[in-house]
Amino acid sequence: TLRVGRGSNIDFTVDNAESANWMAEDIDFECQGCVSNSFAAESETEVLVELTDENGCIYNFTIFIELSAGPVTAPNMITPNGDRFNEFLVFDGLEEFPEHQLVVINRWGDIVLETNDYKNDWNAQLDGQDLPDGVYYYILQYGKDAPNEFVLDGDVLVIRTR
């Protein structure tokens, strides 16, 4: 199983094969018979590959393509304690997606942050006051053309102790 973000370009090269036939329902491969191929992952699918080695032996295998939440990732903990390390909830890759919406809630379901213009700058404060240490939950919707193309949700642990 290969887990990638929607639209990710996937390059495959098969060693020790003379030729390879690539098959999938919704993928147009660049080259049939080639031992190298690439495609963009637009949906979850199964890629069937039939290899022929130098002796004419045929081998079959399947690659399962699963889509992840997309190319943006998030930490599972921040430590906004003034030591300049892990001070903020930083979504790596978010700068590539101008359309986004972020909601952060506490364990009681209260919204502590809601924004359409997140700058990777939340340090577990609300109205300038430190929020208690603990687990907070986020829902990040983002995309290139629409803010809900991808959804990344999860939790982040806030610990201030030095």
- pLDDT tens for 77-123 read 999 998 889 999 999 888 888 788 999 999 999 999 999 989 999 99
Instruction: Quote the CA–CA distance of 99 and 109 in Å, as a whole number.
Output: 25
Query: What is the pLDDT averaged over residues 56-83?
Result: 86
pLDDT of residue 145: 67
Q: Which token pair is 6? A: 């929607």
DSSP state of 132: P
Residue 129 has pLDDT above 90, yes or no: yes
Instruction: Quote the CA–CA distance of 3 and 41 in Å, as a whole number.
Output: 10
Q: Which residues contact 116 (CB under 8 A, 6 or more apart)?
A: 100, 101, 147
pLDDT band at residue 148 using 50, 70 and 90 as cut-offs: low
pLDDT band at residue 162 using 50, 70 and 90 as cut-offs: low
40 to 9, 53, 81, 99, 160: CA distances (angstroms): 4, 27, 42, 22, 42
Query: What is the pLDDT averaged over residues 54-82?
Result: 86
Q: What is the pTM of this model?
A: 0.59
pLDDT band at residue 154 using 50, 70 and 90 as cut-offs: very high
Residue 69 has pLDDT above 60, yes or no: no
Dmax over CA atoms of the chain, in Å, equals: 71
Residue 71 has pLDDT above 80, yes or no: no
* Residue in the block written with tokens 């045929």: 58
Higher confidence at residue 125 or residue 142?
Answer: 125
pLDDT band at residue 124 using 50, 70 and 90 as cut-offs: very high
4 to 27, 49, 90, 98: CA distances (angstroms): 15, 19, 20, 21
